[in-house]
């Protein structure tokens, strides 16, 4: 087993090589992604959409996130493991935020946590840093703000909105985040932010200028029916899995499974 990567190593790779990040929610997927060379496994609160069947990420609980993060860590990956702080786990006091985030470190074995939001989260980021908990930021289209945004809409269009996000990125870096996810913003703004901060930017629907990219793994694998514009499908596992299951159904119903080679002799 290779050594787990570290937060300082990840941060130091800005400008030297592009960083590859994907979501993981279970041990099997985490092992496959890690063996394929992914640099960071994010246990995203997208768990709510792609695993638990919710329409948004808002219903996902802290207990659910800690449990799935622990499963990913049990894969013993080389990649960093970072977990999303779910809705209402950091919309509280900095002290309670630290208490909630500490569960991912102590109980699940994560390397850090991710939280959404800009200037309003600075006290929380600083408190987490003082507690020794590495933090990844998230700006732009922040899914936990879906009700405020009125849907999943591109953010940062227009000079005022762009300047606010740029200012938030600089403030978050100063507060101590080690990396920053930029989601659903114009390409030019992502390029400006990437040039303005000394930490890696990880894009999702933010164009090619970011230091790295992240996608929701089931989207990349073609397991869902609808995916955002920015997703490139690298497989069609929905069809592959469906064909495999239909083959199994047919073989069982026709008495062709199990055959002699799948049975134990006397």
Listing DSSP states for 49-102 in one string gives: HHTS--SSSTT--HHHHHHHHHHHHTT--SSEEEEEPPTTSSSS-HHHHHHHHH
**Residue 145's pLDDT is what?**
87
158: containing domain: 7-235
pTM of this prediction?
0.95
Considering the domain architecture, whether residues 28 and 59 belong to the same structural domain is answered as: yes
Could you tell me where the beta strands, DSSP code E, fall in the chain?
19-23, 40-43, 80-84, 112-114, 135-140, 179-183, 201-204, 212-215
Whether 217 and 257 share a structural domain: no
Tally of structural domains, the chain = 2
Quote the CA–CA distance of 100 and 48 in Å, as a whole number.
19
Q: Is there a catalytic annotation at residue 17? A: no
Catalytic residue among 183, 256, 262, 266: 183
Q: What is the pLDDT of residues 13-47, one digit of tens each?
A: 999 999 999 999 999 999 999 999 999 999 999 99
- Give me the pLDDT at residue 247, please: 98
Sign of CA dihedral 112, 114, 118, 120: negative
Does residue 25 belong to any structural domain of this protein?
yes
Whether residues 74 and 105 share a domain: the answer is: yes
Residues 180, 242: one domain?
no
58 domain-assigned: yes
Question: Do 114 and 84 contact (CB within 8 A), yes or no?
Answer: yes
pLDDT in tens, 167-181: 999 999 999 999 999
pLDDT tens digits, the chain, 266 residues: what are they?
568 999 999 999 999 999 999 999 999 999 999 999 999 999 999 999 999 999 999 999 999 999 999 999 999 999 999 999 999 999 999 999 999 999 999 999 999 999 999 999 999 999 999 999 999 999 999 989 888 888 888 999 999 999 999 999 999 999 999 999 999 999 999 999 999 999 999 999 999 999 999 999 999 999 987 888 999 999 999 999 999 999 999 999 999 999 999 999 98
Half-sphere CA count of 13, side-chain side, radius 13 A: 18
Supply 232's token pair: 């490139």
CATH number of the domain to which 98 belongs: 3.20.20.60
Measured from the Cβ of residue 264, the count of other Cβ atoms closer than 10 Å reads 4
The whole-number pLDDT of residue 129 equals: 98
Whether residues 104 and 120 share a domain: the answer is: yes
Residue 148 confidence (pLDDT): 81
Residue 173: per-residue pLDDT: 98
Asked if residue 249 and residue 208 are part of one domain, the reply reads no
């Amino acid at each position: 087993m290779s050594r787990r990567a570290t937060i300082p190593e990840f941060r130091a790779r800005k400008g030297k090589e592009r960083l590859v990040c994907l979501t993981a929610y279970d041990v099997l997927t985490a092992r496959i992604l890690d063996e394929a060379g992914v640099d960071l496994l994010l246990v995203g609160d997208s768990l709510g959409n792609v695993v638990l069947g919710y329409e948004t990420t808002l219903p996902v609980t802290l207990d659910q996130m800690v449990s799935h993060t622990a499963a990913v860590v049990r894969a013993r990956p080389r990649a960093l493991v970072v977990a999303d702080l779910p809705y209402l786990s950091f919309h509280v006091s900095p002290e309670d935020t630290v208490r909630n985030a500490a569960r991912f470190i102590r109980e699940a074995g994560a390397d850090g946590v991710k939280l959404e939001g800009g200037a309003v989260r600075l006290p929380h980021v600083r408190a987490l840093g003082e507690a020794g908990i590495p933090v990844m930021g998230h700006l732009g289209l922040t899914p936990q703000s879906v009700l405020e945004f009125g849907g999943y809409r591109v953010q940062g269009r227009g000079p005022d909105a762009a300047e606010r996000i740029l200012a938030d990125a600089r403030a978050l870096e100063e507060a101590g985040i080690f990396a920053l996810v930029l989601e659903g913003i114009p390409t030019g703004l992502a390029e400006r932010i990437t040039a303005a901060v000394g930490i890696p930017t990880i894009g999702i629907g933010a164009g090619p200028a970011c230091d790295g990219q992240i996608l929701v793994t089931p989207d990349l694998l073609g397991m869902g029916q609808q995916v955002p514009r920015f997703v490139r499908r690298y497989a069609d596992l929905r069809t592959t899995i469906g064909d495999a299951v239909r083959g199994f159904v047919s073989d069982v119903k026709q008495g062709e499974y199990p055959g002699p080679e799948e049975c134990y002799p006397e």
